[in-house]
């Protein structure tokens, strides 16, 4: 279990995740922090997930080798992985279905480039790939929020998840950091450590960036205009 937040607009996509691995459905066997669950997809963007870690790791590995030309290819990989995992361990079928994977990539036509974030969850969407609506913050909640929906309802009343597409880059991150902090403080399944995978359009190309750190430190830096030094450039797709 974990928390994953995601956002996309015409110029960028963001996926952020904590780094806690919980042992047992209700953490009855403890937990460990420091396990990076946000993975770079070399030919796409980023992927993270909430739920059964063994299944999610296999899905991440399979998508890491994909060079998609359309969303059907992502769905086909997802279908094969989920079927194989259920065949290997039928007792975990329910946990696999309840797991949520969040993945980003870039698509284009002859005129435009589109930043995409998709959500895969058998329980909620079957074999479909749910494309995140631009301007909306998506949250894959940890188990204690799923067990008590009032917690999620309270959070979503406090924070506006429909932040739109017009906010600047740092305001978008600040909004997401604030929500992440709230969940980290409230959920025993979520750590304070935050990994952030970004794809963003710049004048000379599309930059793939990563930020990692304690959520309170990241919030302090974005509030004081000091977040620039935290970005690691993972790759650049140049227009020239």
**Which pLDDT tens digit goes with each residue over 73-87?**
999 999 999 999 999
Q: Return the biggest CA–CA distance within the chain.
A: 54
pLDDT confidence of 162, banded at 50, 70, 90?
very high
Structural domain span for residue 67: 4-238
pLDDT at 239: 65
pTM of the model: 0.94
pLDDT at 26: 73
pLDDT confidence of 38, banded at 50, 70, 90?
very high
Q: Using CA atoms, how far apart are residues 30 and 96, in angstroms rounded to an integer?
A: 21
Q: Which of 44, 34, 47 is nearest to 66 (CA)?
A: 44
pLDDT at 167: 95
Which DSSP string corresponds to the chain? ---EEEEE-SSEEEEEE--EEESSTTSTT-EEE-----EE-TTS-EEEEES-HHHHHHHHHHHHT---SSHHHHHHHHHHHHHHHHHH-GGGHHHHHH-EEEEEEEEE-SS-EEEEEEEE-HHHHTT--EEPPTT--EEE--HHHHH-HHHHHHHHHHS-S---S-S-HHHHHHHHHHHHHHHHHH-TT--SEEEEEEEEEETTEEEEEEEEEEHHHHHHHHHTT--GGG-EEEEEEE--
Mean pLDDT of 145-167: 94
pLDDT confidence of 30, banded at 50, 70, 90?
confident
Mean pLDDT of 39-62: 92
63: tokens are 């998508």
CATH code of 128's domain: 3.60.20.10
**205: β partners:** 202, 238
Q: How many domains does the chain have?
A: 1
Distances (CA, A) of 37 to 136, 229, 240: 22, 23, 33
**136: β partners:** none
Mean pLDDT of 150-172: 95
Higher-confidence residue of 187 and 30: namely 187
pLDDT higher than 90, residue 29: no
pLDDT at 62: 92
pLDDT higher than 60, residue 240: no
User: Of all residues in the chain, what percent carry a pLDDT higher than 90?
Assistant: 78
Residue with the two structure tokens 């894959």: 140
């Amino acid at each position: 279990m974990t928390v994953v937040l995601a956002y996309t607009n015409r110029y960028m996509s963001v996926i952020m995740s904590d780094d806690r691995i919980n042992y047992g459905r209700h953490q009855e066997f403890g937990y460990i922090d420091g396990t990076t669950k946000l993975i770079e997809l070399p030919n796409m963007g980023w992927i993270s997930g909430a739920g059964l870690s063994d299944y999610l790791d296999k899905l991440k590995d399979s998508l890491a080798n994909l060079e998609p030309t359309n969303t059907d290819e992502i769905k086909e990989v997802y279908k094969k992985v989920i079927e194989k995992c259920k065949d290997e361990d039928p007792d975990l079928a329910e946990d696999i279905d309840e797991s949520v994977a969040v993945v980003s990539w870039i698509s284009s036509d002859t005129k435009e480039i589109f930043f995409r974030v998709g959500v895969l969850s058998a329980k909620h969407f079957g074999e479909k790939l749910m494309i995140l609506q631009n301007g909306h913050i998506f949250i894959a909640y940890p188990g204690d929020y799923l067990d008590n929906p009032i917690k999620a309802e309270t959070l979503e009343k406090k924070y506006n998840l429909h932040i739109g597409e017009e906010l600047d880059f740092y305001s978008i991150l600040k909004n997401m950091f604030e929500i992440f902090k709230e969940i980290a403080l409230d959920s025993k399944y979520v750590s304070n450590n935050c990994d952030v995978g970004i794809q963003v359009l710049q004048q000379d190309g599309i930059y793939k960036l990563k930020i990692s750190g304690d959520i309170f430190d990241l919030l302090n830096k974005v509030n004081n205009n000091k977040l620039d030094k935290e970005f690691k450039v993972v790759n650049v797709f140049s227009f020239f």
